[in-house]
Every structure is written in structure tokens, then in C-alpha cells.
Amino acid sequence: MSGKSNITTKEQGASASPLSDLSAGANTAATSNGSSSGPTTAVAPPSAKSRKNPIESKSQKPSFLSLIFCCGANFVNDSDASALQVGQQTRPPTVSTGRAAGKKAVAGQLADEKPPQAQATLVDIAATAVLEDPVGSNSNSQEIEPPGLLGPIAPEHQGRKCLVLDLDETLVHSSFKLIPQADYVVPVEIDNQSHNVYVIKRPGVDTFLQKMGEIYEVVIFTASLSKYADPVLDMLDIHKVIKHRLFRESCFNHKGNYVKDLSVIGRDLKNTIIIDNSPASYIFHQTNAVPISSWFNDPHDTELLDLIPFLADMTVVDDVNPILDMTNEEQQ
């Protein structure tokens, strides 16, 4: 995207962009608490380019258009930022995996898409619920895991690992500025006016999604709003392999960043992998992450295709955490 636009990209930071996102960077891999009884090594994924440390990045005010599609820029607006306290974290009071509706634009900002206000007490929605024996006998209580954001695993995905994919600058690049020969043009209404969003696909994305759909339960988790991301995914998913879509309202607002908290999606973390160009997005689950560089328009990019053999190898390991932890440490 051109620097003349009032929108910048992730790589440029959030100085003025609806598409701004933190550059893909080397994440500080947390030490895995689990151990794997399966293979301890796998083909190392290609190292991501142009990495930055999200902790060192300085937050800046985004353009109001950044409230439409965040692409991992992870910035909240001024009213949200004022509610945040140092060390406080907030979770959305409700979660949704469907298409959000009824969004209302007020003064150029989507009022119902703001992250929630800070709360003094956090409720761990990933905690297990204990059900008492209805008969009142001395039998052991039964622990039931909540379904999480994704709900129960479909029969066809039983035994598969879960692959969580970012959208913007990972699979596609979008801009309000005209892009010649854009793959898609998505109209988005802002303040009762329609604006075109021009979308181009990362090289190899069609093949990548097709191959991943054959061996993983594929989830798209984006910090963008559904009013933009849904129509993009409708056109992008030509092989019908994306089984779940999570949008901004499912993100965790952590110190002004939109973080994708894998602990609440309802899948075993040892069987869950996230691919995202923004390290801040997976800051809570660095040993589940496969970093990838931010993509804007390079026609010779091959990172998605290069990841296919590595991700195929990961399907047979007992626990992805120690392998990704080791791999990420080696690439730092």
C-alpha cells in the first residue's frame, strides 16, 4: 500500500492504517510444560522474514478505518484504551462464531465492535465445570469440558489437529486504495457510505488451504470485523475447507491488543497450531505458533507452499508444543 494513503500496513505499524499490523516477528518461545511421547523432531518451518518483537513495539492511534479490518494491528480506539489499566485484561462478555450483524457506525467508528470495558474480575471460561451426582451418592463427580468457541468437534474431524489461520497479511492483503487486478473487491459500509476494499491473494493460498483441509480442522481467526472478513472468506474458500470463522469479538483485549486466546476455542492445546504474521496475536501461546512474514504484494512469495511439508509432519506428533518451542528458539 502506498504511503500516501491514510491507511498503512502491518509492516509500517499502526501509524495510519486500517490494515496496519505488527510485523511478523520472532516470538519469545515459552518453555513447554508438556512432553511428547511421539517424535521429538520435525522438518523445521521456513523462518519468517522481517520479524519484530511485539513487546518493544509502541502503540499508536489507528485510523478510524482500522476499526473495520485490523489485520492483526491489534489496536483499540481511544475510548477502549482509556478503560484499560496496567496489567488488566478483559474478555468479551459474549462470544460468537457466526456472522455479526446490526453493526452501527457512529462518527466513523463501529460502536458495537469495540472491545469490552475492563473488568475487575476475570472468569476463566476455559475452566471445567463439576456436576454433582444427581442421586447424591458417594460416586465421583464428573468433569465436563465446555465446548468453547468452536463447539464440538465434527465427526469428520475426529482425530485431527486444529489449524488456526490469520487472514490479513497472512493469507491475503487488503487495501482501501485501488489495487490493479485485485482478486476481490468487497464493498464495506462505513457511516452510511459504501467503500470498496481491494483484496489480493497470497501466492499459493488456494493450494495451501486445499492441502490443509485434507489433514486439519481449519479455523480462520481474524481481528477484523465480520462485515469485511466474511465476504472475503466466502470467495477465498473455493475448496470449502474452512470449518470455523472467528472474528474480532472473539479476540481477547490485552493491554490494547487484540489477542487470539487459544485456550477458549475448545480444542486441546497440544493439538492446536496457529499461523499468524503478528506475534502479538499469539503472545499467550507462543509454543503453538508457526510464525510467517507479513505479505503485501510479492508475486514470488512461497511461504505458504513451503509450510505444507512441515505442517503435514506435525499431524503425527503427540504434542505440538515442544516441537514448535524448539523450532522457534532455533530461528531466533
Q: Catalytic residues, which ones? A: 166, 168
Q: If 0-12 CB within 10 Å is exposed, 13-18 middle and 19+ buried, where does residue 238 land?
A: exposed
- Residue closest to 260 by CA, chosen among 276, 237, 236, 244: 276
Q: If 0-12 CB within 10 Å is exposed, 13-18 middle and 19+ buried, where does residue 78 land?
A: exposed
What gap in Å lies between CA 6 and CA 193, rounded to an integer? 17
Place of cell 493469507: 171
Q: What are phi and psi of 273, to 5 degrees?
A: -125, 140
> Cα Rg for the chain, rounded, in angstroms?
20
In eight-state DSSP terms, residue 303 is: H
